[in-house]
Amino acid sequence: MQTNQSSTYLFFFLLAAACVVTVGCGGEQRPDGLPPTYPLSIKVLQEGQPLDDATVTLYFADGSMNWTIGGVTDAGGVAKMYTHGKFEGAPEGSFNVTVSKMLYEGKAEHDAAMDAGDTEAARRIEVNAWQLVADEYMIPARTPIKVEVTKGTKSLEIDAGSAVRIKKEMLR
């Protein structure tokens, strides 16, 4: 009987220890100075259509904080915002918003050749990079997209202008 009771205590001790290790003591510690964040999603449209696989980044309009705030749009053009890469949402404030999207033609074939160890074949594959959002939307100081985020802001919709296809140089 003593052995069963010891086994039971040991089991519950190990279970409690596993919970502490898995859950931690109150979750991830927020960095000093990180303001409170509030859940925020941003829908990006380009020529009236959802823009998928675009990077959306928020910059404090007054340049007062350097926390990274951003997300990547899904197939419906919606990006869920994260601050400092892992804290859901965005702090309150006025922001300049940038949107960027690139298309790489030939990249999958190039990467497959490299993964197979065939560097000669990879060198022969042309990879083209295309910018699909106009420059003005990609530069924080020039972007025409301005938003205000408050505690009550849950979602926003923004327009990334007309579609473009600008060839960019690839480093080889």
pLDDT over threshold 70, residue 3: no
Beta strand 41-46 with 155-159: parallel, antiparallel or unpaired?
Answer: parallel
Q: How confident is the model at residue 172 (pLDDT cuts 50, 70, 90)?
A: low
pLDDT over threshold 90, residue 6: no
pLDDT tens digits along 29-57: 888 889 999 999 999 999 999 999 999 99
| Contact assessment for residue 43 and residue 78, using Cβ atoms and an 8 Å cutoff | yes
Q: How confident is the model at residue 79 (pLDDT cuts 50, 70, 90)?
A: very high
Domains delineated in the chain: 37-168 (2.60.40.1120)
pLDDT on residue 169: 82
Integer Cα distance of 10 and 41 in angstroms? 46
Q: What is the mean pLDDT of the chain?
A: 86
pTM of structure: 0.77
pLDDT on residue 48: 96
Q: How confident is the model at residue 11 (pLDDT cuts 50, 70, 90)?
A: very low
Average pLDDT score over residue span 96-124 = 94
pLDDT on residue 171: 63
